[in-house]
Amino acid sequence: MTSLGVRPEPWALGMWAPYDKGWVTQKVVSRIEFLLDGRPLSELNPVDAEPEPVSLFEVTDAANAAKIMLGEASLPNDFLSEDRLTLLTCLCGDPGDGSLTVRLSRTGDELVWDDWAWEHGYGPEVETFPAMPDCRFRFEEYTSVLEKAQQLAEAFGDQASSIIRVPDHGDGIRRSIAKHVRGEMACQLDWLDIEVIHPLGEQQGADLRQLIDAVAAIRDELATAKSRRRHNPSGAQVQRALAAASQVIASPEAFRLPGETLEAVEWLHVHLSPRR
């Protein structure tokens, strides 16, 4: 028998975050992650798709998602046959954008996932994965896990575990002119002017607090470079900024930063590192 589990997993919305005019915002919520013999389903997924596919609990209400996973309902516009189940799909909820699917069957007290595939509704092409394992679940355990998934989805909903934003400096012609006038380093440092909307103060965990402090340390050590193009930070400033950049990159919480901020830190890390 296959062991089925479920847990909430931090998930950065990225392009799906609510639009905040004048800002680039990284909002992290929790999504439902199923575990097969302790391994996350998203890691077992053999398809590298953009955006990252999610469970049914992110694309429809929790009660309906549980019914679909029992074969008692289906997504709107679902093109799958009655014996097939969508496990992961696009956040937009359109199964035609590509879905990881299995054949779903039940015999007595046993429920089976097998015949794994990546399917979409816009053509006959189906990519199959014969190396993926057949999964056999005790029906009582399966329904119990779905109940827990429903409870987790209803508890977390769209509740954010963190919201961090940075002023949107764009990347068009005005930005190119700014780089020419102020210098590349100054423009990269602009992306470090982050604002933490949530969580605040004592609500922040130790790892998140260290991440925020490290970003601030880089910004402070190199602050003069934002206004003086020809400024060269001292060797000590470079070493402290480089150490802080390394801390940001290695942080388990780095995914909570806006993508542009993290890219700027990586750029600074490369350009501050000693040349070999």
Question: What is the Cα–Cα distance from 151 to 75, expressed in whole angstroms?
Answer: 20
pLDDT by residue (tens digit) across 49-85? 777 889 999 999 999 999 999 999 988 888 888 899 9
Which two structure tokens, joined as six digits, stand for 172? 């068009």
pTM summary value:
0.81
Query: How far apart, in Å, are the Cα atoms of 233 and each of 87, 198, 225, 263?
Result: 52, 32, 8, 21
What own/partner pairs with CB < 8 Å and gap ≥ 24 does 72-77 have? 77/121
Query: How far apart, in Å, are the Cα atoms of 197 and each of 145, 160, 164, 204, 217?
Result: 34, 10, 6, 11, 19
Which two structure tokens, joined as six digits, stand for 130? 């014969």
pLDDT by residue (tens digit) across 237-257? 999 999 999 999 999 999 999
pLDDT of residue 120: 84
For residue 126, is pLDDT > 90?
no
Q: Which one-letter DSSP state was computed for residue 209?
A: H
pLDDT by residue (tens digit) across 169-206? 887 777 777 677 778 888 899 999 999 999 998 889 99
For residue 35, is pLDDT > 90?
yes
